[in-house]
Amino acid sequence: MPSSAVKSEMNEQATDRLKNIASDILLEAKKQGADQVETSVSIGQGLSVNVRLGEVETIEHHRDQGVGVTVYQGKKKGFASSTKLDSSAIKEMVSAACAIAQYAEDDPFAGLPEKESLASYFPDLSLYHPWDVSAEQAIEIAVTCEDAARSYDKKITNSEGASIQTFEGTRVLANSLGFNYGYPASRHSLSCSVIGGSEGDMQRDYWYTVARKASDMEAAAMVGEKAAERTVKRLGAKAISTRKCPVMFAAEVSGGFIGHFISAIRGGNLYRKSSFLVDSLGEQVFPTFVNIHEQPLLAQAMGSAAYDGEGVATSPRHIVEAGVVQGYVLGSYSARKLGMKSTANAGGVHNLTVEPGDLSFQQMLKEMNTGLLVTELIGQGVNTMTGDYSRGAAGYWVENGVIQFAVEEVTIAGNLKDMFKAIVAVGNDVDLRGNTRTGSILVSEMTLAGS
C-alpha cells in the first residue's frame, strides 16, 4: 500500500484532475444553454472489516466516484448526476439537467449564491490523514477490540461484532461564478457491540471511536471494554412508574437534543412556517448561561470546512449567545425566501458547539440529585412545528446523585420550548466524536411515562 507521503501527492493530482473535470462540465453546460451552473465531483476509496466471535465476517475494499450538476435557465432549475466521469457521460448528464430545467416551474428564489459570499481563503484544516492499514492489520485490530469486550465480564454472553471502517476521498465544488476548489479528507472509525445476560435478562450496548487521523482514535481494547461495561451496567433494567422528574441527557445523546433546536431554526422549516421557533431572532430561548456557536475552521474536526455545500465562506459565529437566538441556519435559497443572507449552512452546520459549564459528569448527577439519566433514545416523536417531544428512552435511575439501577421501557415527554428554558446545566464531559460538540445536559423537569 502506498505511503502517506505518496498518497498525499496522489491526492493533489486527483484534486487537479477533478477540478479539470468540473471546468469541462461548466463549459458543456454553458454550451447547452445554461445561464448558471454548479457541479460537484468526487472520488473516494476505503476499507471495511467486520469480525464476530473472533472470525472474519466481511472484508470490503470499495472505490466510488460520482458527479452531479445543477443548471439554471433563467429561474428554472434542473439537476442530474452520474457515476461516470468520461466526456460522453458528462454530455449526457448535462443534457438531462438542461432538459429537466426546461420543464421546471420558474422559482424567483432559485440560483447560485451571491458571488461576493463565495470563499476565497482556504486554510489548511488538516482533514486528510490516510491510514496505511492492510486488511490483515484491520482484522487484528477488530479482533483485539472484540476480545477485550468478550473477556471483560462473564456476563458478556455473545457479540454482534467489531467493525473497522476507513475512508479517504476528494470532492471538488465548482460553479459558473468562478469558484472551483476541492480538497482531500479522511475518516476512520472502530466500533464494537456485545450482548450480556444474567438471570434471564439480556441487554446489548456498544461504543465507537472516530477521527480524521487513525492515531487519534481510542485504543481498540478500550473501545471493546467500554462497549462491555455499558452492556453489563444495563443488566437488570427495570421499568419505572409514571412521574415528573429531572432528566439528564448523557453527552452521547445530547447532540440529538440540540439537533432539534437546529432543525427548528433551519431555513426550510422557517420559510414554510413549520417551526415553533419562527421569528425567534433576538428571543430568549435558553437560560442566560447557554451559548451555542459554530467553529468551522477547527483543525482535524469532523465538521470542519472552509465553505459550505454551495461554496459560501464559513466563519466562526454565535447562534445562541446568553440564551438569545443570534442567527438562523440558512443556505442561499432559504435566505432569499426569508429576505436574509446565507449563513453558510447549505449542507448543515459545522462543528456546532454548546459551551460547556464547570460540572463534570459525576457533579452533574449530584446536581440532578434524583431523576433519570438518559443514555439511549428510541423513535422519532418530535414535532418541529409545535415543539412537542415524546421519545422512548433507556438509561439509569439516579437517587442522591448516585446511579441506582438501569431503566428501560420508559417514554420521556415535554415541549422543546419548555425543555430548552428548563436546562439547569451543561456538563464539561464534551463528546467530540461528531459534528455537534456538547456535554451532558440537565433539564429540571420532564414527564416520564412508565409502567
pLDDT at 199: 83
- The H or E element containing residue 96 is helix 87-103
Going by C-beta distance under 8 Å and a sequence separation of 6 or more, which residues neighbour residue 405?
236, 237, 238, 396, 397
Distance CA 277, CA 421 (A): 13
pLDDT at 151: 97
Specify the residue for cell string 438562523. Answer: 328
| Structure confidence by residue, pLDDT tens digits, 357-384 | 999 999 999 999 999 999 999 988 999 9
pLDDT at 13: 85
Q: Which of 139-153, 176-190, 193-207, 360-374 has the lowest mean pLDDT?
A: 193-207
Distance CA 142, CA 46 (A): 16
Q: Estimate the crossing angle of helix 4-31 against helix 87-103, to 10 degrees.
A: 50
Is 2's pLDDT higher than 60? no
| E strands, 266-399, in order | 292-294, 317-321, 324-325, 352-354, 371-378, 388-399
Is 187's pLDDT higher than 50? yes
Domain boundaries, the chain: 4-234, 237-451
Confidence of residue 10 (pLDDT cuts 50, 70, 90): low
DSSP state of 438: B
Going by C-beta distance under 8 Å and a sequence separation of 6 or more, which residues neighbour residue 281?
325, 326, 327, 328
Mean pLDDT for 312-334 is 98
What is the homologous superfamily of the domain 4-234 according to CATH? PmbA/TldD superfamily (3.30.2290.10)
pLDDT at 417: 97
Give me the residues paired with residue 436 across strands: 352
Is 3's pLDDT higher than 80? no
Which CB contacts under 8 angstroms, 24+ apart, belong to 118-122?
Answer: 118/175, 118/177, 118/178, 118/179, 118/307, 118/311, 118/312, 118/313, 119/179, 119/181, 119/306, 119/307, 119/311, 119/312, 119/313, 119/314, 120/313, 121/306, 121/313, 122/181, 122/183, 122/306, 122/307
Mean pLDDT for 337-356 is 97
Burial of 275 (0-12, 13-18, 19+ CB in 10 A): buried
Give Cα 16 to chain centroid, integer Å. Answer: 28
Mean pLDDT for 424-432 is 97
CB atoms within 10 A of CB 288: 10
pLDDT at 185: 96
Phi, then psi, of 25 in degrees rounded to 5: -65, -45
| Structure confidence by residue, pLDDT tens digits, 76-111 | 999 999 999 999 999 999 999 999 999 999 999 999
Given a contact cutoff of 8 angstroms between Cβ atoms, the answer to whether 294 and 317 are in contact is yes
Mean pLDDT (the chain, rounded) = 95
Amino acid at 152: Y
pLDDT at 393: 96
Is 8's pLDDT higher than 60? no
Given a contact cutoff of 8 angstroms between Cβ atoms, the answer to whether 159 and 149 are in contact is yes
Confidence of residue 1 (pLDDT cuts 50, 70, 90): very low
pLDDT at 254: 97
pLDDT at 292: 98
Given a contact cutoff of 8 angstroms between Cβ atoms, the answer to whether 51 and 143 are in contact is yes
Mean pLDDT for 300-309 is 97
pLDDT at 143: 98
